Structure 1
Amino acid sequence: MHNSHIPTDYEFKHSKWIKKMLRAYWLVVLTHVVIQIGCFLFLDYDRTPEDFMIHVLFWPTLASALAILIASWVERRFSSFSFYSMSMASTVIAWSIIHVNYDIRIILAICLLPIFASVLFFNKKRVWTVCLMQMIGYVIVLCDPAYRLYLSSFDMVSIPAFLIVGTYVAQLIVISGVEVLDDLQASMLAKQDLIVRNAIMSKQSKTDGLTNLYNQSSFKDYYEKAFEYANNGMSLHLALIDIDNFKSINDTYGHRVGDVILERVSLVIQENVTSSDIAARYGGEEFALLMFEQSFEQAYTLVEQIRKKIARLVHPELEGAYITVSVGLQSYSPNLSKDKLFEEVDACLYTAKRTGKNKTVTSLDLSLTVEENN
C-alpha cells in the first residue's frame, strides 16, 4: 500500500522559501543579462560581438539557468536536498558573474549572496556548508589562467579571508536570530500558559467545584440575560430541582456520601439537558435549570426524564435506598417579572415537596389546586 507523505508546517514553509529564493535567482540572472547588453551597447566594451555573445552572455546564462532548473527539479522530487541544490545554484550564478566581470573588484561581493541566503534557514552548519561551496567555486574559477593572472598575491589570500569573515558574520546573525526565536517561543508559551490559567480561573469562578455545574452567582447572571431575551420573544422555562430528604442522608451516612449523591444527581442533569440549556447548583441540594428554544411540553418531558432517571439510580453507599427529587417548573410570561417567575417556580417546588415528593409540579398544577380549593 502506498503511504503518501503529508508535509508538516515546517516543510511547507521551507519549501516556500526555497521557491522564493529560486525566483529571486532568475531575477539576478535576468538583471545581469540586461546590464551586460546595456554596457555593450552604450559603453566602451573591449570585447568583440562574437566573444560577448558566447563568453559573456551565452555560457554564463546557460550555466546559471541550468543550475536553477536543476535546483527546482530537486525541490519538487527530493525536497530534503532542496537547500543544498538551491545553494549550489546560487554558487554557480555568483561565480559565473564574478568570472565574467573579474575586472570589477566590487563584483566579488556577490559571492556573499549564497551565504546570506542561507541565513534565512537559521542553521549554522548550513551557513558553513555554503561557505565551503564558495571556496570550491573560487578554486574552480582560479583554473582560468586569465582570471588567475589578474589577481595579485594579496587577492589570492584576501578572497578566502573575505568569505570566512562574511560567513562568520552570517553565523552571528543566525545565532542572534535563533536566540530571538527562542525568546519569542518562550514568550508565546508563557502567554499560552497565562491564557490557560485565566480560562481555568474563569471557569472555576463560574462553576461549582463539586458538581461542575454553574454556581449560583453565574446562574443569576445568565437568568438576568435569559429574561431579557424572553422579553424579546424567545421561549424560556425555569425549573428548580431539589433532592428529597437530603438532610437525613447527611445525618445518617455523612457528608462524604452526601457529596457523592450530589455528584451523581448533577451528572444525570448534565447528561439530559440540551446544549442550549443552562444548569446550575443553586443551593446545597437544589439545582436550577434554564431551558430555551422548546415548548412547555418539551421542557416538562425533559425535567420528568431527569426525575425518573434519578429515581432509578442505584447507590451502594445507601444500603439499597433510593434517591428522589422534587421539581418545580414554570414558563416565562410577559406579565411576570424575573423575581416573580422565580418565586412561582419556588412555590411549585414547595408544593411538590409538601404533596408527596418525587414529582414535578408546574404552574398549571398550582392553578388547578387553587380552583379545587375554591
Structure 2
Amino acid sequence: MVAAELWLRYSKFSPKLGVVTCGFLVSYLMYFVIEPYVDGAQMTLMMPIMIALIYFDRKLLTIMGLFRVVFYAGVYFGLERRLLHKPLLEFLMVECVFIIFVGMALAVIIRAREARLNLERLTKEGQDLMVERAISDKLLKTDALTGLYNHKTFHEYLDSLLEQCESNNLNLQLALFDIDNFKKVNDTYGHWVGDLVLKGVADKVGGMIGLNDFAARYGGEEFAVIFTDKSYSEAYEAVEELRINIARIEHLHAGNKPITVSIGICDYQLGDGKELLFRKTDNALYAAKERGKNTVVNAFENDGDEIASYG
C-alpha cells in the first residue's frame, strides 16, 4: 500500500498502470497465502485483469492477459509442479480460464466502444438535425437579402404583441420606413446596386434598434420596426436617429450619393386594433413623402385620422 501511494503521488507514469501493477502484486501475495489451504486459489490472479477491464483499456488488458498467462506458467513449472505436485491438467484448465476471461473482457470493451460510437453518432445526428431545423426555421422567418424578419413573421409577431398590449397595457409603437427614390436607384445603377442599398439600410436598422425591438423587411424597399420598451417620445427619437444615420451611409456603387428614407410612426392606442394602427402609420408615411421625403412624421388619432408633425 505504501508503494502504491508513492507511485500515485510521485510517478510520471499513468496512475492506472500503478493501480494494475499493485493489483498484480497483491493478487500473487493472496495466492501464495491461501494456495496451501484453498483449491482454485489461482482465481485471485485475475485481479489485475479485472482492474484493466474497469479502466476499459484494451491495450492494457491485452498486455496484462498475456503477461498473466506467461507468468503463471513460470509459477506453475517453477513452484507448483515441483513443490505442490499439481497435475498438468489443472495448469491447462487455469490457463484456459485466464484466456477465456481475457477474451470475454476484450469483447466487453469492444462492445462498449461500439455502443459509445453509436451514441456519439446518434448525438451528432441529433445535433445536426437541430442545427438544420434552426437554419430552416431562420430561413422561413427571415428575408434572404437583408437578414431581417420577413413580412409573414412580422405580422405573426405583431399579432402576438397587440394581444399583450390589450391584456397588459404595454407600450408599442410601429414605424414604417420607405427608401426615397428607390426606383430611380434601380433604373440608374441596376438592381444589384439596389440590393446593396437595401442591405446597407437593413444593416443600419438592425444594428441600431434595441434588443426588445423587432425589425422586418415589410416588402420591396419598405421596412417596419416595432418598439416595445420605449415611450412614444423615445421611439420617435430612435427613428429620427435612424433616419439621420441612414442618410450618412456611403453607397460607393450608387455614385456615393446619400440614400434617404421617409418614416411614419404611430403610438398604439388601446382598442385601435391592427388595421387602424397600420392605417395611421401608413398615412404618416405618405405624409412624410408628401413633405419632401427624408423626414419623420408622427400620426395620432383626433376626430378621425389626423396627421401632424411631432417635435
TM-score w.r.t. the length of structure 2 is 0.88
- For 1:345 and 1:371, how far apart are their aligned partners in 2? 12
Q: Deviations over 1:246-290 (max 9, x none)?
A: 112112221111100000000100110111111100101111111
Q: 1:122 aligns with which of 44, 53, 56?
A: 56
Q: Deviations over 1:45-71 (max 9, x none)?
A: xxxxxxxxxxxxxxxxxxxxx1xx543
The offset of 1:111, in angstroms, is 2.7
Equivalent residue letter for 1:183: N
- For 1:159 and 1:337, how far apart are their aligned partners in 2? 88
RMSD: 2.7
Compared with structure 1, are the counterparts of its residues 173 and 331 closer, same or farther at alpha carbon in structure 2 (3 Å cutoff)?
A: same
Equivalent residue letter for 2:235: A
Q: SS at the partner of 2:263?
A: strand
Compared with structure 1, are the counterparts of its residues 208 and 78 closer, same or farther at alpha carbon in structure 2 (3 Å cutoff)?
A: farther
The answer on 1:268 being equivalent to 2:201 is no
Correspondence for 1:220: 155
The offset of 1:369, in angstroms, is 6.4
Compared with structure 1, are the counterparts of its residues 122 and 253 closer, same or farther at alpha carbon in structure 2 (3 Å cutoff)?
A: same
- For 1:120 and 1:220, how far apart are their aligned partners in 2? 59
Structure 2: gaps (5+ residues): none
- For 2:118 and 2:89, how far apart are their aligned partners in 1? 43
Q: SS at the partner of 1:350?
A: helix
- For 1:89 and 1:203, how far apart are their aligned partners in 2? 58
Contact map agreement 1:95 1:141 (CA 8 A) in 2: no
The answer on 1:82 being equivalent to 2:22 is no
- For 1:151 and 1:187, how far apart are their aligned partners in 2? 53
Contact map agreement 1:91 1:133 (CA 8 A) in 2: no
Matches within 5 A, 1:251-330: 251-330=187-266
- For 1:297 and 1:219, how far apart are their aligned partners in 2? 23
Correspondence for 1:157: 92
Q: SS at the partner of 2:265?
A: strand
Equivalent residue letter for 1:268: K
Correspondence for 1:40: none
Matches within 5 A, 1:1-374: 66=1, 69-78=2-11, 80-102=13-35, 103-132=37-66, 134-135=68-69, 138=72, 148-149=83-84, 151-231=86-166, 232-364=168-300
Contact map agreement 2:149 2:217 (CA 8 A) in 1: yes
Equivalent residue letter for 2:141: K
The offset of 1:327, in angstroms, is 0.6
Correspondence for 1:4: none
- For 2:132 and 2:15, how far apart are their aligned partners in 1? 42
How many residue pairs get aligned? The number is: 305
The offset of 1:144, in angstroms, is 5.8
Equivalent residue letter for 1:258: G
Compared with structure 1, are the counterparts of its residues 249 and 78 closer, same or farther at alpha carbon in structure 2 (3 Å cutoff)?
A: farther
Compared with structure 1, are the counterparts of its residues 291 and 77 closer, same or farther at alpha carbon in structure 2 (3 Å cutoff)?
A: farther
Q: SS at the partner of 1:105?
A: coil
Q: SS at the partner of 1:333?
A: coil
Q: Structure 1 vs Structure 2: percent identity of aligned residues?
A: 31
Contact map agreement 2:299 2:306 (CA 8 A) in 1: no
The offset of 1:81, in angstroms, is 1.2
Compared with structure 1, are the counterparts of its residues 289 and 165 closer, same or farther at alpha carbon in structure 2 (3 Å cutoff)?
A: same
- For 1:265 and 1:297, how far apart are their aligned partners in 2? 23
Compared with structure 1, are the counterparts of its residues 272 and 139 closer, same or farther at alpha carbon in structure 2 (3 Å cutoff)?
A: same
Structure 1: gaps (5+ residues): 1-65
By percentage of residues, which structure has more helix?
1
Q: Deviations over 1:87-138 (max 9, x none)?
A: 1122233233332222433443333332133223333211122224534764
Compared with structure 1, are the counterparts of its residues 78 and 242 closer, same or farther at alpha carbon in structure 2 (3 Å cutoff)?
A: farther
TM-score w.r.t. the length of structure 1 is 0.74
Correspondence for 1:45: none
Q: SS at the partner of 2:196?
A: helix
Q: SS at the partner of 1:192?
A: helix
Q: SS at the partner of 1:113?
A: helix
Contact map agreement 1:141 1:147 (CA 8 A) in 2: no
Contact map agreement 2:214 2:226 (CA 8 A) in 1: yes
- For 1:331 and 1:370, how far apart are their aligned partners in 2? 13
Contact map agreement 1:99 1:147 (CA 8 A) in 2: no
Q: SS at the partner of 2:224?
A: strand
Which fold has the larger relative contact order, with Cα–Cα distance below 8 Å and residues 6 or more apart in sequence? 2
Equivalent residue letter for 2:287: T
Contact map agreement 1:239 1:327 (CA 8 A) in 2: yes
- For 1:77 and 1:233, how far apart are their aligned partners in 2? 69
Q: Deviations over 1:14-57 (max 9, x none)?
A: xxxxxxxxxxxxxxxxxxxxxxxxxxxxxxxxxxxxxxxxxxxx
Q: SS at the partner of 1:317?
A: helix
